[in-house]
Amino acid sequence: MRNSVYQRNNYQQGEPFEVMLRRFFRDIQQSGLLTEIKKRRFREKSISREKIRESARRKMVRKKIKRGY
């Protein structure tokens, strides 16, 4: 991963391990690193992306018709 963010947490003297771990996970979540890794785990082909977008467009149109907009 080229544009990765390196997380560094400083251990504070006398801090319990659970508190440090919770702070670490919160920092990871706020940085968006975990979601980026999950997104890149399985690479999608551009064709499948287009199919997904097209089906979402069709679904929106069906909802609008159903609601009478």
Residue 15 sits at φ, ψ, to 5 deg, of -85, 130
Amino acid at 45: K
What pLDDT was estimated at residue 56?
94
Two tokens at 42?
């399985």
Going from N- to C-terminal start, the domains of the chain cover: 17-67
pLDDT at residue 8 in the model? 63
Predicted model pTM: 0.42
CA atoms within 13 A on the CB side of 25: 5
Task: Report whether 4 contacts 33 (CB < 8 A).
Answer: yes
The answer to which of 18-22, 25-29, 47-51 has the lowest mean pLDDT is 47-51
61 HSE (CA, 13 A, CB side): 6
Backbone φ/ψ region at 32: left (φ over 0), alpha (ψ -120 to 50), beta: left
Per-chain mean pLDDT for the chain: 81
